[in-house]
Copies of this chain bind each other. A is one copy, B any other.
Amino acid sequence: MQNSGRQSRRITAAQVAEAAGVSRSAVSRAFTAGAYLDRAKREKILKVAQELGYRPNALAAGLQAAGRSDLVAIVTGDLVNHYDAEILARLVQSLRGLGKWPVVLGGHEDLREEDVLGVLGYPLDALVLRGGSVAESVALHCAKLNIPMILSGRVMSAPGVDCVCCDNARGAAMAVRALVARGRRKLGYLGGVPHLSSDQDRRTGFETALAEEGLSPAVLAHADYSFEGGYAAARDLLAGGAEIDGLFCANDAMALGVMAAARQEGGLSIPEDLSIIGFDDISMAAWPGFDLTTVRNDMDETVSQILRLLSARLEAPGKDNEVAWIEPELILRGTH
């Protein structure tokens, strides 16, 4: 009764070695690219391993050398926001291209900081944080554990922390100028969660650009970045008799909600009665029926910068921290 534990264990290199009549080291070498090993011997080992269903245990392998567990944690924003969902998909895909395995956290409203700290139990190659949802203490822990951190959509200045961020103020200014160029003068801003720096920057950009045009905001409101939130905010605005002819929304989902409310609750035509510009350029913005004018917060560029910063950091862990700015671009469609 050699191998009859009731809960059968995973096949190990030792078992493969025995079955193939070689040493354990040979088995290890067979799975290591560029290791000295007789060609025929390697092939035999690989064949036996295949039959037994052997696969080197990544946990044990990751224990060997520090700094290459190949695990990267991603803290994503709420996935009902299409922007975050699309970013996550791209991130997961390109991380695989680097040979990394993404451990995903978040994706819903209530992310517990405890979970973020918990995943640091793994010797992560890096931690990628989307949006502004997590506190300073996490950054502190990362620093102590020597885990590189990459922020997206938020800027923070700390050693070992790299950031990718859209120039939010500039994007907001582009939207304002486009609205003014259309003859709009009574402009409103519909922001998202006010304590996030991205929202603050978009709002500041909006107000500054407006001031440069000699105008002041007709309305400053905020919702929760969702379609439903945008819808409700617009309905309230309309019911309150707000006089606006143009609205800049802090993201596309809210802009779509505003459009629906303006049309259905207010009986307004867009853009004739009300111009609307969103932010992000999620794929839905281009759908016929929406055709939303928006400020593109380039997802491909964002993800590729995240990966560039990640690679650079892994190559030179002690390098200076860096901020990669994403240039916004105004996408002209039919709602402004």
- Contact residues of A with B, CB < 8 Å? 7-11, 52-53, 55-63, 66-67, 69, 71, 74, 78-80, 82, 85-86, 88-90, 92-93, 96, 101-108, 112, 115, 117, 119-123, 141, 143-146, 227, 231, 256-257, 259-261, 263-264, 283-284, 287-289, 317
Q: Do the beta carbons of B55 and A120 come within 8 Å of each other?
A: yes
Are A93 and B107 within 8 A (Cβ)? yes
User: Residue of B at shortest CB range from A317?
Assistant: B7
Cβ-defined contact, A145 with B55, below 8 A: yes
Say yes or no: B107 contacts A89, CB within 8 Å.
yes
Residue pair A8, B146 in contact (C-beta under 8 Å): yes
Which one of A62, A284, A289 has the highest number of Cβ atoms from chain B below 10 Å of its Cβ?
A: A289
B283 touches A10 (CB 8 A): no
Q: Is the CB of A144 within 8 A of B53?
A: yes
- Bound-complex Cα distance A58 to B283 (A): 38
Among candidates B8, B11, B78, B121, residue contacting A55 with C-beta atoms closer than 8 Å: B121
Q: A10-B66, A66-B10 are in contact. Are A107 and B123 (CB under 8 A)?
A: no
Which residue of B60, B78, B86, B287 is within 8 Å of A89 (Cβ)?
B78
Distance between A247 CB and nearest chain B CB, rounded to angstroms: 17
The reply to whether B80 and A86 contact each other, CB–CB distance below 8 Å, is: yes
Complex partner residue of A288 from B52, B93, B106, B261, CB under 8 angstroms? B261
- 8 Å CB contact of A66 from B9, B227, B284: B9
Q: A58-B122, A103-B101, A108-B90 are in contact. Are A80 and B288 (CB under 8 A)?
A: no
Tell me which residues across on chain B come within 8 A of A287, comparing CB atoms.
Answer: 227, 256-257, 260
Q: Please, which residue of chain B has its CB at the minimum distance from the CB of A115? A: B96
Chain B nearest Cβ from A41, distance in angstroms: 22
Q: What would 14 A/B residue contacts be, using CB atoms closer than 8 Å? A: A11-B145, A55-B117, A55-B121, A59-B62, A59-B69, A61-B121, A63-B63, A85-B85, A88-B107, A92-B108, A101-B122, A104-B104, A260-B289, A289-B289
Within the assembled complex, what's the spacing in Å between the Cα atoms of A93 and B112? 10
- With A105-B92, A108-B89 known to touch, is A231 a contact of B53 (CB < 8 Å)? no
A287 to B230: give the CA distance in the assembly, Å: 12
